[in-house]
Amino acid sequence: MTAPDLSRAGGGPTGWSVRLSLFYGCFFLTAGVMMPWFPVYLDARGLTADQIGLLLAVGFWIKPLANPLGSRWADLSGERRRPIVLLVICAGAAFALYSQADHFALFLAIALLMQAFNSPVLPLADNVTMTAAAERGIDYGRVRLWGSITFIGAAYGAGWLLEGRDADVILWLVVGGFVLTALASAGLPDIRFSRPEQRRRNPFALLGHPMFAIFLLATGFNSAAHAVLYGFGSLHWKSIGLSEAEIGVLWAVGVVAEIVLFALSRRVIGRIGPLALLLIGCASGLVRWTLTAWAETFWPLFGLQVLHAFTFGAAHLGAMHFIQRAAPDGMSATAQGLFAAFGMGLFMGFGAIAAGQLYGVFGGQAYLAMAALSAVSTVAALILLRRWDGRRLSL
């Protein structure tokens, strides 16, 4: 694999780790408000469960277009930092427009615009971090865990701030998070890539590779299995009598468990490998979602939220390290973009719209459908574990 140009990046491994950690901290500070509380904001603005589900879904559906284009732009330009900064600024400006929306069509248009800018940001940042891991020995999990820490603080802190306050607070907390993320993006290591002979490749060609397609099925169905939680977890917990503070704790505890796994990630990956970790994550969903369908009090839900370390954390770490080891030369950002677009975008989009329909009819029992998606993802992960030979994919 052709080595990237690190001459503009500045600093050593410690400085890189700090700058990358700051980015993840700011990015997931924003997500920690948006993911659990944005549906509450939409509900307060008068949207129905079906409309909220559709609004969340279209944000994911734009990813199969926005992510490959954004990541291919990065591969063609050879840059990562400049595209990330520009995308974050545009995403924050678009999100602020929700304050002016007065009917559902406007909410829908803003969701498409905001996600078109926001979707490519994280896969591009992950590409920078995994490159830093390969070139400078940086531990991805230990850098990424700072995002989990700020997610906890934001999820719990927003719940505390919302007690007795208008839901409009949610909007401006998210906008402020985008401002911080833009500032942190400007400090990312400026890693450059120059592989002109690879740039003629069709960015979608990788979708036709059997191993990558199976990988997307495993990660896609596993991501979609989180749709009811992400879209309606807070609303459901409110409906069974939990307070905003308790809801914040439930979001936070899953991420605490995730942080522990991220802190141990290098040891875990070295011992069992990326695809075994992915399989564990997918299989854990069978337990988590089946039992969540029946849990209606705080402490059982508290215990089940710990499994987020596996259904998200283990699966995500496995996916990141698989891409690092398997992506064709010259297509690292493209592979990250396709994973985010299809594995975490298109599938999650369909999951979100289904979640809106299912939750509107069945309430908490909608989690049983998520367990079925976890079963499919487990089968795909097992097939991939048995068939991948450990080498880079060739096109």
Start-to-end C-alpha separation, the chain = 15
The answer to whether 26 and 186 are in contact (CB under 8 A) is: no
DSSP string, 228-288: HHHHHHHHHHHHTT--HHHHHHHHHHHHHHHHHHHHTHHHHHHHH-HHHHHHHHHHHHHHH
Give the CA-trace dihedral at 213, 214, 216, 218, to 10 degrees. Answer: 170
* Closest CA relative to residue 367, chosen from 310, 285, 248, 308: 285
Per-residue model confidence (pLDDT) at position 196 = 45
Locate the domains of the chain by residue range.
13-192+206-387
Degrees, nearest 5: CA angle 53-302-40: 30
The three-state secondary structure class of 62 is: coil
Per-residue model confidence (pLDDT) at position 212 = 96
The three-state secondary structure class of 297 is: coil
CATH number of the structural domain 13-192+206-387? 1.20.1250.20
pTM of the model: 0.82
What are the pLDDT digits (tens) for 270-280? 999 999 999 99
Per-residue model confidence (pLDDT) at position 194 = 63
Per-residue model confidence (pLDDT) at position 197 = 54
In eight-state DSSP terms, residue 328 is: P
Per-residue model confidence (pLDDT) at position 337 = 85
The first and second tokens of residue 209, run together, are 């590779």
* Closest CA relative to residue 308, chosen from 375, 271, 259: 259
* Closest CA relative to residue 352, chosen from 190, 236, 230, 189: 230
Per-residue pLDDT of the chain (395 residues; tens, 9 = 90+): 566 667 676 777 888 999 999 999 999 999 999 988 898 899 999 998 889 888 887 877 888 889 888 888 887 788 889 999 999 999 999 999 999 999 999 999 999 999 999 999 999 999 999 988 888 888 999 999 999 899 888 888 888 888 777 888 999 999 999 999 999 999 999 888 765 454 556 667 888 999 999 999 999 999 999 999 988 998 999 999 999 889 888 988 888 898 999 999 999 999 999 999 999 999 999 999 999 999 999 999 999 999 999 999 999 999 999 999 999 877 888 888 889 888 777 898 788 889 989 998 999 999 999 999 999 999 999 999 999 999 999 87
Per-residue model confidence (pLDDT) at position 226 = 96
Q: How many CA atoms lie within 13 A of 337 on its CB side?
A: 29
* Closest CA relative to residue 222, chosen from 288, 140, 124, 163: 288
The first and second tokens of residue 158, run together, are 């927003």
Residues 190, 175: Cα–Cα separation, whole Å: 25
Residues 323, 216: Cα–Cα separation, whole Å: 11
The first and second tokens of residue 166, run together, are 């208008």
The first and second tokens of residue 271, run together, are 């011992």
Helical pair 121-136 and 63-77, crossing angle rounded to 10 deg: 40
Q: How many CA atoms lie within 13 A of 186 on its CB side?
A: 6
